[in-house]
Amino acid sequence: MTLCKKGMLKVTMIIIMFSFLFFPDLNNIYASWLDNLIVSTPPATQETDREKRSMAGEEYEYVYYSSSLDRTEIVDYYRKKLKQTGWKERDLKAGLKKIPNFTPDQSMLTVLENNLLFEKDGRVFSINFLPVGIQKDKKTNYLVSWTLESKNKEDDEWLGEEDSTGELLTQPKKQVAPVYPGAKLISLDEGRDHSTLSYVSHDDLEQVLWFYRNNMVNYGWSLIEDMPVQSQEMNQEAMQQSCPSCYQNNIELPKGMQLRFAALKFKNNSEDICDVQASTLFIDSKQSLPGRNKTNIIINYYESSQ
């Protein structure tokens, strides 16, 4: 999965999560497949990819587009078409401001202004634009997502933290490493001689590392490097290195954010390489932010050229 898609996915998952947390009338989405196209594709716009994801008990279709139109033209197109068919737009900023003990900064509000969420008859339709700093082809890249299939829920059921992570339903063609128990696959990129899989877990960093140190041998891997756990303050300088597009778009980080990370490197008898990277973000206890205290797991596989 490209950097562009990863960035759009993260924002889209947050937006959909907000819709469940702060618009309770969306929580009773009924099970159904959309047998009709919600809205036609804008002119001068091409579909580039499509996938299905599961989040909070619901299934979503994700469709990626690249357009010669600018953002304003695309927004106007969707607003007009969706309004004509009875879709109502939701105020994302109002939902964000309802999070207890959390004050959104202006950069986060600006991000939400550039994303749209609509609902109709219990279904959700969202549009997420890619930050300008990541767009290399001078086109407007964006994704739309909508509810496909859902489980029946009680109206007063609360969406827990563990349910807020979107899970990719597509499975890897080749399972090169064990999956940490309970971890959710959130992105997948497979090439001819390499693959990258990203998972998220609610267990702590040390548990994840212990699991891979002791279970990779079952897949024919031998540990050759063990990088100890390190900590780094996520200030603006660190963000410029780890997320250049965030820095270019003046996205501010919450105060007190710390990154803890470690990596393991393995080799098999065929000289293939597999590294496991694990990281966790910690935020000052005075702040309450969705998605905190999760361990991200990235597995990179490189097939030997021998």
User: Are residue 89 and residue 228 in the same domain, yes or no?
Assistant: no
Q: What is the pLDDT of residue 64?
A: 87
Sole residue written with tokens 């899970």: 167
What stretches in the chain show pLDDT beneath 50?
Answer: 1-3, 5-6, 8-36, 150-164, 285-291
145 and 83 co-located in one domain: yes
Per-residue CA distances from 81 to 37, 44, 87, 128, 249 (Å): 12, 16, 9, 17, 29
pTM score: 0.53
User: Which domain-ending residue is among 163, 191, 207?
Assistant: 163
User: Closest by alpha carbon to 18, among 90, 79, 80?
Assistant: 90
Query: From CA 10, how far away is CA 14, in angstroms rounded?
Result: 6
Are 56 and 136 within one domain? yes
Distance CA 149, CA 78 (A): 23
- Residues 152 and 24 both lie in one domain: yes
Backbone dihedral angles phi then psi of residue 237, each to the nearest 5 degrees: -65, -45
Residues 8 and 154 in one domain: yes
Give yes or no for a contact between 232 and 258, defined as CB atoms under 8 angstroms apart: yes
Give the pLDDT of residue 248.
Answer: 53
Structural domain ending residue among the three candidates 141, 163, 185: 163
Give the pLDDT of residue 101: 67
Cβ atoms of 272 and 304 closer than 8 Å: yes
pLDDT at 262: 92
pLDDT for 209: 96
Same domain, 16 and 148: yes
Q: Quote the domain boundaries for residue 106.
A: 3-163
State whether 125 and 231 are in the same domain.
no
Structure confidence at residue 22 (pLDDT): 39
Q: What tens digit of pLDDT does each residue of 132-156 get?
A: 555 667 888 888 888 775 444 443 3
* 127 neighbors 114 (Cβ within 8 angstroms): no
Residues 234 and 95 in one domain: no
Contacts for 229 with CB less than 8 Å, ≥ 6 apart? 205, 206, 209, 260, 261, 262
Which two three-digit tokens encode residue 111?
A: 């991000």
8 and 122 part of one domain: yes
Same domain for 184 and 284, yes or no, is yes
The verdict on 253 and 222 lying in the same domain is yes
From 142, 163, 184, give the residue that closes a domain.
Answer: 163
Pair (178, 226) in one structural domain: yes
Radius of gyration for the chain, computed over Cα atoms and rounded to the nearest angstrom: 20
What is the enclosing helix (H) or strand (E) of 81?
helix 71-84
Give the integer Cα–Cα distance in Å for 101 and 80.
Answer: 36
Helix boundaries (H) for 24-166: 71-84, 92-96, 106-113
How many folded domains does the chain comprise?
2
List helix spans (H) across 40-96: 71-84, 92-96
